[in-house]
Structures are given as structure tokens and as C-alpha cells.
Amino acid sequence: MTQTPVAPARAGHGEEFAAPPGRPGVRRGQARRRSRIAAYVALTKPRIIELLLVTTLPTMILAADGLPRWWVVVVTMVGGTLAAGSANALNCYVDRDIDAKMRRTGHRPLARAEVSPVGALWFGLVLGAVAVVGMGAITNWLAGGLTAAAIAFYVVVYTMLLKRRTSQNIVWGGAAGCMPVLIGWSAVTGSLSWAPLVLFGVVFFWTPPHFWALAIRYREDYSNAGVPMLPVVATPMRVAVEITVYAWLTALTSVALWPIATSWVYGVLAIGAGAALVASAHRLLSRTRRGVDARPMQLFHLSNSYLAFVFVAVAVDVFVR
């Protein structure tokens, strides 16, 4: 039987053609590069960096009593991002063994072998060096020194010395997260004063209730990893009481800024925000006492909003008083 010849398909009629030689490989290579870049970005924990920067800019506005010079803002925010990214990447390097055991951190690049440990180590060190030198050379060396201290404190004091040894790890280790307010103030003024120290205290007292609320939710994770977070080693009632005490200390410290550096506008906003934080802590305490679900994530999410609100109030006060 004779077959009718089939004319070759022509472009423009919906026919699909094989991709040019080498094109699929190029696409795969591009995808791998994008995936590798995304993994390195993930090492820096961008969501944590956002919260740190929220505390930096309002502090700079307060220090300048208005808008700081734009280049100081840019250098400080970029330097702060690099410094926090450095500390977080080095934290991931040190904690890669326990990160792999926890649901909350099991997706991190080192836990999933998306980045080599050596690569993560060098990445963190280079980011830190650029941040410190850039801050020191372009703003002033007090800001640069505080940047170096923040990275070292988080990596060495908190991650390497405290985290796996004591239930008070987040209390003292959390001081690293307070450093952006000192860095921001010193970048503008070249010095320190009572106002940034009070703001340091706000973040210092805020950190335990914020993080312990999260640790209640992931108590089994920390227990399996052998990390003695307070909810792992203490009774639920003790944890709830300490959260409530620190919530009160946070609110009171925030109000202490009023007579030192702000007007009644900030004072009213800080009192309102503090009342909301304390009320949430007391609800957690009440539910714990009654033996029902404490709903710690409600406090965790509210604490994020609280810190952002208080620092935005600092900036607003500068422009309305």
C-alpha cells in the first residue's frame, strides 16, 4: 500500500518544535543559579532582618530630631541588613545540626544541604566584614564597632555559649537584637545617650515574652534538639508568669522614654500599646492557670505588631510635637 508523503510542518500553525540544542541545559543552569542565590538569601533570615530595621530608622529620626541625612540612612540600613544577615548566616552554620532536627527550622538551606557549610561560613564572614568596614568608614567607628559587637554577641555569646546551656539563653543572648537602636543612634550622632539606652531596654525586655511564646508552640522541637529553652525545662505556669513579668517590664520601659526624649503623643501611644501587650500576656497566664490551650501564637504575633507600633510612634512623635 502506497503511503501519501507528509509535508513537513511549517512554523506559524501551532506545531511544536524541539528546543535548539543546549537550550534546556541553559534553562536548568539558570534555575540552579536562582535556587542557589535563593538559598544564600534564606541563610540571612530576611523576615527577622525586617523587624530589626523597623527599630533602626525611627531611632535615627529621634537622634536627628527630624530626617537624618539621606546617605547616613542608606548606609546604616544597608549596613544593618548585611550585619544581621551575617549574624544569621553564621547562626545557621553553627546550628546546622539542631536545625535539621526541628520542624520549624528543617527547611533552612544547611539543614537541606542546599548550601555547603564552608560556603555558608564564608558568606557570613564576608557579609560581616563588609558591614563593619562600611559602617565604620562611611558613618563613624563607634557605629562600626557596635556593628561588630552585635554580630559577635549573637554568634559567640548567644549561639555558641548560651543557647545550648541555659534556659536564660534568650534573655541575655537577646541583647544582640537590641543593638540596632544603638547603631542607628551612633551613626547619626557619633555618640550615645539615655534615649537609645531606654530603647535598647524596650527591645531587651520585649525579647523573652516574644520568643518564649514561640518556644511554647515549638516546645517539642526544642526538646528533641536538646535546646533548654524555658518552656522545655520549666512548668507552663512558670513560663506564663515570666512572660507576664517581662511584658510589664517592656511596657513600663517604653513609657520611660516619654519624659526623656518625647512628647505626650508618644506617651499616649506607648501606654496604649503597652496595655495591649500586657493584656495579651495576662490572657496567656489565665488560660495556662485554667489548664486550657494558652494560644501562645496570639501573643507572638501581637508582640511583633507591638514593637513596630512603638517605634513608629517614636518617629511620629518627632514630626508632630
Task: Say yes or no to pLDDT of 10 above 80.
Answer: no
Is 20's pLDDT higher than 60?
Answer: no
Grid coordinates representing 136 are: 565604620
What pLDDT shows up at residue 32?
77
* Total count of domains within the chain: 2
Counting Cα atoms < 13 Å in the Cβ hemisphere of 220 gives: 1
Q: Clarify whether residues 49 and 136 are in a common domain.
A: yes
pLDDT tens column, 24-55? 666 666 777 788 889 999 999 888 778 778 99
pTM: 0.88
- 80 and 147 co-located in one domain: yes
Q: Are residues 80 and 177 in the same domain?
A: yes
CA-CA distance, 98 to 34, in Å (whole number)? 27
> Are residues 54 and 175 located together in one domain of the fold?
yes
- Cβ(45)–Cβ(86) under 8 Å? no
Instruction: Give the end-to-end CA distance of the chain in Å, rounded to a whole number.
Output: 96
235 with 296, same domain? yes
> Do 125 and 199 fall within a single domain?
no
Same domain membership, residue 260 and residue 282: yes
- What is the per-residue pLDDT across 176-191, written as a single tens digit (0 to 9) for each? 999 999 999 999 999 9
Residue 4 has pLDDT above 80, yes or no: no
195-220 mean pLDDT: 96
Q: Which of 30-39, 130-139, 287-296 has the weakest average pLDDT?
A: 30-39
Mean pLDDT of 7-20: 42
Q: Are residues 184 and 241 in the same domain?
A: no
The reply to whether 126 and 182 lie within a common domain is yes
Q: Please, which residues have CB within 8 angstroms of residue 264's CB and are 6 or more apart in sequence?
A: 258
Residue 279: give its domain's CATH number.
Answer: 1.20.120
Provide the Cα torsion 219, 222, 223, 227; round to 10°: -130
Domain limits for position 62: 35-190
CATH assignment at residue 160: 1.10.357.140
What per-residue confidence (pLDDT) applies to 19? Answer: 44
Residues 214 and 265 reside in one and the same domain: yes
The string of pLDDT tens digits covering residues 246-256 is 999 999 999 99
Given a contact cutoff of 8 angstroms between Cβ atoms, the answer to whether 245 and 211 are in contact is no
